[in-house]
Amino acid sequence: MPVAIVDHPLAQHLLTLLRDESTPPDAFRHYSRRLTTILAVEATRDLTTTNVKVRTPLEETEGRLLSETLVVVPILRAGLGMLEPIAELFTNVSVGYIGLERDETTAIATSYYCKLPKMDGMTVLLCDPMLATGGSAAQAAGLLRDAGARTIKMIAVVATPTGIDRLLGEHPETEIFTTSIDRSLDDRKYILPGLGDYGDRLYGTL
């Protein structure tokens, strides 16, 4: 299933708080971190593990440890807000950055920064809270594929049919995890009903 809608009650609760225009930046950041954690857990259900033996204070038992190193790549700047909670979940994660700036008139993104760790054969969590037109996500996924990524999992708080179609049309092997597929885009390519400008609300630059 290329698109997974995470409809856990807590995820939907947090999404509603993020949508609320009265939510201040400090609370917005808090809710964003919590929701990112839920999305990341859902996106990593199929990570590989290794069976090990471990001794509890009472006896020896069997357990499983993660045997796969993740790469997390936020799309700057809004994606940065999703990095910290994922790095807290997976302490040995590698981190890359892709900087894409959208022209407000044309809605076309141009790259201004790209720094990636070793990608060959890796599973990558590509983070951008708003999958709107899909242009930035598709461009970023192309950079990750060119660098050797094996699996790309896109984590977005909200997405649109337009953005999903664009991303999967150019990179059909990508998996998308989101809490909502919103209705459409307005004339400025903002998501409706959406959350407003995620980066501005995250960093209080309204």
| CA–CA dist 96, 168 (Å, integer) | 22
Q: Which secondary structure element, helix H or strand E, spans residue 147, and what is its range? A: none
Cβ neighbours of residue 133 closer than 8 Å, sequence gap 6 or more: 107, 160, 162, 163, 166, 185, 189
Residue positions annotated with a catalytic role: 102, 106, 197, 200
**Inter-residue contact 124 to 171 (CB < 8 Å):** no
Which phi and psi (to 5°) does residue 107 adopt? 65, 15
Please, are residues 17 and 27 in contact by the beta-carbon 8 Å criterion?
yes
